């Protein structure tokens, strides 16, 4: 049983390190989609992940197109059913709490500075209506979004909560 956290072109090493730590603690798979804004060997990345890196199931993809060709429309490794992908974006059509998450779901997060590409979001929403999700927050236009690592944790732990925190004590 595993959730899949997909970081598309992450830029800030400590965010990725913190997400890796959360994935290790929950048994979730971490997908890193290149280009990355850092080397996986970066000292700050390792420091943020502390000694958790050996316990993280990390899959690195050369591009978003490569990631999609491997998973989109294919059978989920955990369930054998078609992979479900949710795009976390401030422009999401529904709240993340309105989704009934299940084992093997993939949650995609974009770059810290720009999020997921708008064209990609629109294309995925046409192909898979309802796949965009958001975290509710203030309508104050000065606040663009939450920290990426925090956003991952909010959604990841809701997905795990819905499933009864499988294999976690």
Residue 167 falls within a domain, yes or no?
Answer: no
* pTM score: 0.92
Give 131's Cβ-side CA count (13 Å radius).
21
Residue 124 falls within a domain, yes or no?
Answer: yes
Nearest-CA neighbor of 78 among 21, 127, 29?
Answer: 29
Identify the pLDDT of residue 138: 82
Distance (Å, whole) CA 38 – CA 12: 7
Residue 39 falls within a domain, yes or no?
Answer: yes
Residue 156 falls within a domain, yes or no?
Answer: yes
How many domains would you assign to the chain? 1
Residue 9 falls within a domain, yes or no?
Answer: yes
Q: Which residues of 57-81 are buried (b: 16+ CB within 10 A; e: fewer)?
A: eeeebeebeebbeebeeeebebeee
Residue 168 falls within a domain, yes or no?
Answer: no
CATH number of the domain to which 132 belongs: 3.40.1280.10
Element housing 59 (H / E): strand 57-61
Give the pLDDT confidence of 91-122 residue by residue, as tens digits. Answer: 898 999 999 999 999 999 999 999 999 999 99
Give the pLDDT confidence of 150-168 residue by residue, as tens digits. Answer: 999 999 999 999 999 988 8
Identify the pLDDT of residue 52: 76
Burial (0-12, 13-18, 19+ Cβ within 10 Å), 157: middle
Phi, psi of 25 (to 5 degrees): -70, -20
Structural domain for 153, as ranges: 4-162
């Amino acid at each position: 049983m595993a959730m899949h956290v997909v970081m598309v072109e992450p830029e800030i090493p400590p965010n990725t390190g913190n997400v890796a730590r959360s994935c290790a603690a929950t048994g979730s798979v971490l997908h890193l989609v290149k280009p990355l804004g850092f080397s996986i060997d970066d000292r700050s990345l390792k420091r943020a992940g502390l000694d958790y890196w050996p316990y993280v199931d990390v899959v690195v993809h050369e591009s978003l197109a490569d990631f999609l060709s491997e998973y989109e429309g294919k059978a989920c490794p955990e369930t054998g059913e078609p992979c479900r992908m949710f795009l976390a974006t401030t422009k999401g059509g529904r709240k993340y709490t309105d989704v009934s998450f299940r084992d093997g779901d993939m949650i995609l997060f974009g770059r810290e500075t720009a999020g997921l590409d708008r064209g990609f979001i629109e294309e995925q929403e046409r192909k898979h209506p309802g796949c965009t999700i958001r975290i509710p927050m203030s309508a104050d236009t000065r606040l663009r979004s939450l920290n990426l690592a925090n956003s991952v944790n909010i959604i990841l732990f809701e997905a795990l909560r819905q499933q009864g925190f499988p294999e976690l004590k």
